[in-house]
């Protein structure tokens, strides 16, 4: 989730013309979030956009650099039978113990399960 937040902030910062602008663009990746009032948005960027336009949060001022997250032990997936058939196309890169990078944790688990 931290990476998704970083990705949203980077997207927001790039799309935003100035720090005072609340008309930034958001990607159409469906990763629903719900605000404190129970309203659901397609993703965190759309929620931030709505809050910014309502004056409830400040416009984005700078991007937070994205990082890759270290992966857990690959044996845990086969031990617990958590071998996904399908994965969402959300870009949240992870790197395995051999240095291979996958689009997200689900794709890495899927590959590790096929290897075992």
**pLDDT tens column, 22-47:** 777 787 788 888 889 899 998 888 88
CA dihedral 41, 44, 45, 47 (to 10 degrees): 50
pTM of the model: 0.37
pLDDT of residue 109: 87
pLDDT of residue 60: 63
Q: Where are the domains of the chain?
A: 2-53, 69-115
Q: Which residues pair with 70 in a beta bridge?
A: 95
pLDDT of residue 79: 41
Low-confidence ranges of the chain (pLDDT < 70): 1, 3-20, 58-82, 116
Q: How far is CA 24 from the centre of its chain?
A: 17
């Amino acid at each position: 989730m931290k990476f998704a937040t970083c990705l949203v902030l980077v997207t927001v910062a790039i799309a935003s013309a100035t720090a005072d602008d609340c008309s930034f663009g958001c990607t159409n990746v469906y990763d629903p979030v719900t605000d404190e009032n129970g309203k659901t948005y397609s993703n965190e960027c759309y929620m931030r956009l709505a809050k910014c336009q309502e004056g409830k949060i400040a416009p984005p001022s700078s991007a937070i650099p994205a990082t890759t997250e270290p992966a857990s032990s690959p044996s845990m997936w086969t031990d617990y039978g958590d071998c996904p058939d399908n994965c969402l196309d959300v870009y949240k890169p992870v790197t395995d113990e051999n240095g291979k990078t996958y689009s997200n944790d689900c794709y890495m688990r899927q590959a590790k399960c096929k290897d075992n």
